Structure 1
Amino acid sequence: MSELAPEDAKIVTLARSTRARNGTPEGAAVRDTDGRTYAASSVALPSLGLSALQVAVAMAVSSGAPGLEAAAVVTTSGQADAEGVAAVRDLAPGAYVLVADPSGTVVSRS
């Protein structure tokens, strides 16, 4: 993929560092329409399982984000989970989702 805009590189970096820091399978970050960012890792508890993207969207919503501009997921699977993408689309149908590998290389944009 071509070089990322600085704002997109930031959310990829946030997702990547959150994943590494927490030792989880995936990390995600979203940027709201005010420019604020929210980073999260996946949650795997006996009673609760959420993808990193779902958690990041929930953090944005619970903080009063008016909408989203973009999201990034760092994962080894090569794709964002369908439920997480659906959560992004619920809040912002026009927002794009970047998927990157653990090195931070973006492999897709949807």
Structure 2
Amino acid sequence: MDITPEDAKLVTLARASRARTGARHGAAVRDQDGRTYAASTVELPSVKIDALDLAVAMAVSSGATGIEAAALVADRHPEPIVRGTAVRDLSGGGVNVFIADPAGDVVRVGTT
């Protein structure tokens, strides 16, 4: 699947975040100003946050008011990760979420 260089960067950032922490998921988002934020799933006894939701939270905490695109890297790609994401809360519908396997190959493009 062909994607733009900016979207490929999101996949690369998501892959790196996941690999660095060994988490189930890695994610990255690009805000309305072109800034990127990457995160991995956090699973602690007191808090569990999916990577995509955390990347959005990081963007919001840095002043982002919208998300242009997102990427999620995981072994499996259950649809609820995309449907229930904070991306929709911040930006509404129509935002592409590039879902990739651990090798970085985009296997599907979800839309919020």
Provide TM-score, normalisation by structure 2. 0.91
Q: Which residue of 2 aligns with 1:46?
A: 45
What secondary structure does 1:18 align onto?
Answer: helix
Map 1:19-30; keep pairs closer than 5 Å: 19-30=18-29
CA RMSD of aligned residues (A): 1.5
Unaligned runs of 5+ in 1: none
What secondary structure does 1:4 align onto?
Answer: coil
Q: Which residue of 2 aligns with 1:11?
A: 10
Report deviation, 1:6.
Answer: 0.2
- C-alpha distance in structure 1 between counterparts of 2:80 and 2:19, whole Å: 19
Q: Deviation per CA, 1:52-85: give whole Å up to 9, x if none.
A: 0010010001111020000100001123543774
* C-alpha spacing 1:59/1:70, structure 2 compared with 1 (3 Å): same
Deviates more, 1:26-35 or 1:80-89: 80-89
Q: Which residue of 2 aligns with 1:88?
A: 87
One-letter amino acid of the structure 2 residue matched with residue 87 of structure 1: A
Count of residues in correspondence between the two structures: 109
- C-alpha distance in structure 1 between counterparts of 2:27 and 2:99, whole Å: 9
* C-alpha spacing 1:86/1:98, structure 2 compared with 1 (3 Å): same
Q: Which residue of 1 aligns with 2:64?
A: 65
* C-alpha spacing 1:85/1:6, structure 2 compared with 1 (3 Å): farther
